[in-house]
Amino acid sequence: MSTETTSQDTNPTCATCTDQLTSFQSGLLPEYDRETVSEHLTTCPQCRIFVDQVDQSRRLLASAPPPEPPVDVSRRIAEEFASSSATTDISDIVARLHRLAMTLGVDDPDDLVQRTLLAGLERRPEQLGYTDLAHRLVESASTSRATNTTVTEAAPDPDLLDVDSEPAELYFPDFYEEGPDLGRHVDSPNVWGRTDELSPDEDYETGELYEAADQAMDQLPAQTRQLIQLVDVEGFSLTQAAAGLDLDEESAARELNRGRIHVRGALDLFLTGG
């Protein structure tokens, strides 16, 4: 092995580490690659800031308040749970399921939630939890997508089609493409502070921050958005999310990484006035 190749392998660029971040954090990289990325992060302050910002973006998404649940579904299922020994807050379960369903591209999220809950209640309610219901919901959506009955991508308005239009811009860091700084950050990431611990006096700013995160999510392809929703918002493991969306873990990790970096970039623009 040449000296040049050895140096390149043992000193990965910022771009390489950024591209492998989710695979690194999920333990999917081979041991050697994991060690080289870890070593890079210990010696590169810009990448450490970048990783911290990605993690802050994930915590922010997870802390966003859930939408109001559909009243008719909530009341119906709450009555069933009230007659059992279940202690879980069903209104919270319904709200979280509804939020999850909204990311899956279904024609009728309320109907998907209701069918998932009713199917789940065929089991003993005291054994029913959010994780089980959410997994059922994703499986139901995936099955519907495969049979093309319930899950569909929204049909574009023919009058709005523009063959020359470009997809939504995704926010990724710029790296030097040549010269001695090849593969390094062009600009140092900004230090945000703790975006997930805003005080009650900053409710207005907090709301705008959540809105910026929501807008960033809306710009992502449906599958990428679903992965972030499942893993970073709903708390599923990467393995569970990949299985629910019929992806292998490596592909899911790459797609999730792109989505996380985009959300981080959109929040960076918002927080720095870009």
Taking only the tens place, the pLDDT of each residue in 45-73 is 999 999 999 999 999 998 887 665 555 55
- pLDDT confidence of residue 9: 46
- Local structure of 106: helix, strand or coil: strand
Q: 119-122: long-range contacts at Cβ-Cβ below 8 A with a sequence spacing of 24 or more?
A: 121/77, 121/80
Report d(CA 239, CA 29) in Å as an integer: 15
Residue 26 scores a pLDDT above 90: yes
Alpha-carbon Rg for the chain, nearest whole angstrom, is 21
Pinpoint the alpha helices (H) of 64-181: 71-82, 90-101, 109-120, 130-147
Give domain limits for the chain. 3-64+170-271, 71-147
Binned at pLDDT 50, 70 and 90, residue 13 comes out as: very high
Contacts for 242 with CB less than 8 Å, ≥ 6 apart: 248, 249, 251, 252
pLDDT for 125-142, tens place per residue?
555 677 777 777 877 776
Helix (H) or strand (E) holding 237: none
What does the pLDDT average to over 85-95?
65
Helix (H) or strand (E) holding 218: helix 203-218
What does the pLDDT average to over 219-244?
89
Highest mean pLDDT among 134-148, 167-181, 185-199: 167-181
pLDDT above 90 covers a percentage of the chain that reads: 39
More confident residue, 228 or 124: 228
